[in-house]
Structure 1
Amino acid sequence: MTTTDKRLHLRFVALAIGMFAIGTDSFVVAGILPSIAKDLDTDVPTTAELITAYALAYAILSPVVATVAAQVSRKVLLIGGLLVFIAGNIGTGLAPNFEVAMTFRVVAALGGAMFTPTSAGAVVALAGPEKRATALSILFGGLSAATALGSPIGTAISGVTDWRGTMMFVAAVGAVAMVAVLIGLPAVPRPPAVTFKQRVSPLADARITLTLLLLLVAYTGLFTLYTYISQVFAPATDGKGTTLAWLLFAWGVAAVVGNMFAGRLTDKFGNRVVINTAGVIAVIVFATAFWTSRHQVAAFIAVMIWGACGWAMLVPIQHRLVGANPAASQLSISLSSSANYIGVSLAPVVGGFLLDDVVSLNHLGFPAAGIIVLGLLIGELSHLLIRRSQAEPADGKEGASASTPSLAERR
């Protein structure tokens, strides 16, 4: 590796640390919900709305920030985003009541919405075409590491101190990232301005809208159970924070592995096979959670399969978005991030409703599995529309590539 390569890698690592902080913030609250609820004098389903506030605000604000701040220096936007993110987490950790905590979760989400899309654009601009894939893998490696390390570390810290200590830990990681970006990142060229209307224009294509809806619905189901993981699997963990941290670590490691192999499997078998196989296995895991949650060994096996399958669905869904309309692929993939976070934001609301009026905590896996099945059915409809459009003769706009899909796209 040349000196220039090493310098580039260090710049990407600086941004990856920021992704680690933001990813940790996204996942860690689920592991400390009971602690927050007790301290703020609310019940767990109400406290889960903190996850909804963060995820929904992030989903809505990401395209808005990208449009409004199009002419702002990329480095200024990155550092500003981390400052807002740090303030949001410190404010959450110091919140005297639930309402204040909710407000600061939105502030933290604003910081994430400023940082994440900007960092992806920055690595693409700095790396150049020949190193783009490596740069993106380093950047999103920070997000994967958050599922494997950030969330369980934060949960363990909560067991030693309290949930407020966890939020300060997240803010501290954000501060490390800010210093790294401030020192190590050079000026980044601004991308061409894209209007808000252009950003959401792919939604006019039913193939893309249905694929995004598959992502939204499936991840609502996947995170309905994850939101209440500390309670659902309490019999297996004996309510111990340390055991729960190890359970989250197992989930995170499996998620990283699932994400790593998803691309290779999609290239070999096609996105439909990978999406449906991973989804069906996740449904089986959720349907048997009433039993696996009572036994520690079974619980660890279940969450590892769940983590691997859940995260293995992301890559083939993005692959389907690209294949549906290659000309709009970048805008479609950016919308997939919002769809993902909207799904995550709906999960606590859906879970809270189900626990209030439909099922007991021990049987939450059943309706969550049903939601995933609904997502897979929507995905089948998107697949049929894509197949139909690719079977039609080229209309002169998309060219031959639209009528001659690759083997993976046909699958």
Structure 2
Amino acid sequence: MARSPQAPPMNGPRPATGMAPVAILALGVFAVGTGEFVLAGLLPMLVDAFDVSVAGAGQVVTVFALTCAVSGPVLTALTAAWARRTVLLTATLIYLLGSAGSAMADTYSQLLAAQVIAAAGVGLYIPNASATAAALVPPRLQGRAIALVVTGFTAAVAFGAPLGTALGGLLDWRATLWFATLLATVGLTGVALAVPRRVEVPDAGGFRDRLRPLGDRRVLMLLATTLVAFTAVFVPYTYIGVVYAPATGGSGLALAALMMVGGIAGAVGNLSAGSLTDRWGGSRVVAVALVLLAVGLLLVPLSTTTLFLAVPVVAFYAAASFAITTPQQHRIISLNPAAAPVLLSLNQSVLYLAIAASGVVGAGGIEALGARYVTLVAAAAALAALGLSVLAHRMVLRPAATDTPASPASTNSADSAGPALHEGERGR
């Protein structure tokens, strides 16, 4: 969903492949990301197709995201000894199986089961695509390679999900899921043809090693900020079709256009946040973005009746939402750049937990307040995330409470991150 900070150099032989295979990996992220984010646009159709409540349909998003959060670190640890090309092909095949099964589901329970399979493939693909991308290029291009791969998420939100939603509006929800399956087939073919059979990547250790940074309370507080902030972000996104049903008149095409506006605005917000992070530091940019996000969420109930009002409010809310991702990753990686892959993997898992939580929180909010006012709950979460962010920043400025193997330079994290991170974060 956002560009990633520079990854630490990786040792080992490196095939002279250039950026072409990296672009193929980004295409794969776009494919699986489209299958994930398009679910929000399909909720009204799933309500009608399976005769379930809005809250019940929203649990598709919750189940998908929760599976991604759990399967990512577990399956990556279990396949650590495999060749990266084999892992990526396996992950895509798992996703294909789940996506096709979803398109053929006759009952809601079958749909949920198929989505669990698809999500397991996504959870395995994403972290390994990023690690493989960094291993395919020289150290000076690693940050650019990871950024290109993760940009596939931004493209999925900005273009893939709206296109899939429009297709569902023109045909039906099954056509959308077959479209996602077709995209994944293209990605699978690209990985098979473009990714070398042998790619050397650093060993991040087993499952326990990947969880070791959680012994650092600064890491925990930053991850808590990610969890609450992105729960606020995804509550309105998950239920956008229901929240803005009065404005769209139930039209899938109108909803797709609204989602595309949000995706494009989000991309602009993300790029702007990246530049501001270099100048202001990550904590300050996150704070500003969370304040703007809360304001945008408070404006949503005033904009649900007409597209004339909905378009600027969605654009404002989306720009603020996407502006959180890059500076938050910057803050986490600055704690210990040498452990960046593990820290970013944990942050990605927490991000999926936030998407899962958004389905539950949004369902409860709709039951209590109605779809129009559910973003008031999200606005409260955004302000809570602001408080957590401030506490996290204060903890980062103090020596770490726990010295762990994942943070060997924990008492001097600002200095260990290099001049750019040091100047960007100290005193902010």
Q: TM-score band, normalised by the shorter chain?
A: over 0.9
Alignment of 1:22-61 (within 5 A): 22-61=32-71
Q: Provide the rounded CA distance (Å) in 2 between the counterparts of 1:89 and 1:224.
A: 23
Q: Residue deviations 1:207-226, cap 9 Å, x none?
A: 11010010011111111111
State the secondary structure of the residue aligned to 1:127. Answer: coil
CA contact (8 A) 1:148 1:248 kept: yes
From 307, 317, 324, the equivalent of 1:296 is 307
Residues 385 and 355 (structure 1), Cα distance of their counterparts in 2 relative to 1, 3 Å cut:
same
Moved runs in structure 1, 4+ residues, more than 4 A? 4-7
Identify the residue that residue 187 of structure 2 maps to in structure 1: 177
Identify the residue that residue 409 of structure 1 maps to in structure 2: 425
Q: Provide the rounded CA distance (Å) in 1 between the counterparts of 2:414 and 2:104.
A: 57
Q: Provide the rounded CA distance (Å) in 1 between the counterparts of 2:141 and 2:340.
A: 20
AA of the residue aligned to 2:313? A
Alignment of 1:286-365 (within 5 A): 286-356=297-367, 358-365=368-375
Identify the residue that residue 18 of structure 1 maps to in structure 2: 28
Q: Residue deviations 1:7-37, cap 9 Å, x none?
A: 5222112111110011112210111101012
Q: Provide the rounded CA distance (Å) in 2 between the counterparts of 1:384 and 1:399.
A: 14
Deviation (angstroms), 1:61 = 0.7
State the secondary structure of the residue aligned to 2:131. Answer: helix
AA of the residue aligned to 1:198? D
From 165, 169, 175, the equivalent of 1:165 is 175
Q: CA RMSD in A?
A: 2.0
From 161, 165, 178, the equivalent of 1:155 is 165
CA contact (8 A) 1:215 1:339 kept: yes
TM-score by length of 2: 0.90
State the secondary structure of the residue aligned to 1:8. Answer: coil
Structure 2: which 5+ runs fail to align? 1-13, 401-406, 416-420
Q: Identity of aligned pairs, percent?
A: 31
- Are residue 239 (structure 1) and residue 239 (structure 2) matched? no
User: More helix by proportion, 1 or 2?
Assistant: 1
Deviation (angstroms), 1:294 = 1.8
From 372, 375, 378, the equivalent of 2:385 is 375
Alignment of 1:135-150 (within 5 A): 135-150=145-160
State the secondary structure of the residue aligned to 2:82. Answer: coil
Q: Residue deviations 1:110-129, cap 9 Å, x none?
A: 11122111111111111120
AA of the residue aligned to 2:423? L
CA contact (8 A) 1:73 1:190 kept: no
Deviation (angstroms), 1:95 = 0.6
Deviation (angstroms), 1:374 = 0.9
Q: Residue deviations 1:284-331, cap 9 Å, x none?
A: 111111111223122111111111111110111111112233443332
Q: Provide the rounded CA distance (Å) in 2 between the counterparts of 1:323 and 1:127.
A: 22
AA of the residue aligned to 2:314? V
How many residue pairs were aligned?
403
CA contact (8 A) 2:399 2:411 kept: no
CA contact (8 A) 2:247 2:307 kept: yes
AA of the residue aligned to 2:192? L
Residues 281 and 193 (structure 1), Cα distance of their counterparts in 2 relative to 1, 3 Å cut:
closer
Q: Provide the rounded CA distance (Å) in 2 between the counterparts of 1:14 and 1:45.
A: 36
Identify the residue that residue 3 of structure 2 maps to in structure 1: none
Q: Provide the rounded CA distance (Å) in 2 between the counterparts of 1:331 and 1:13.
A: 23
Identify the residue that residue 286 of structure 2 maps to in structure 1: 275
Q: Provide the rounded CA distance (Å) in 1 between the counterparts of 2:92 and 2:192.
A: 11
AA of the residue aligned to 1:293? T
Q: Residue deviations 1:36-90, cap 9 Å, x none?
A: 1211121121011110111000001100011110011111111111111011011
CA contact (8 A) 1:71 1:193 kept: no
Deviation (angstroms), 1:136 = 1.7
Residues 277 and 190 (structure 1), Cα distance of their counterparts in 2 relative to 1, 3 Å cut:
closer
Alignment of 1:219-230 (within 5 A): 219-230=230-241
CA contact (8 A) 2:19 2:137 kept: no
Identify the residue that residue 393 of structure 1 maps to in structure 2: none
AA of the residue aligned to 2:103? G
Q: Provide the rounded CA distance (Å) in 1 between the counterparts of 2:414 and 2:187.
A: 45
State the secondary structure of the residue aligned to 2:136. Answer: helix
- Are residue 74 (structure 1) and residue 84 (structure 2) matched? yes
State the secondary structure of the residue aligned to 2:74. Answer: helix
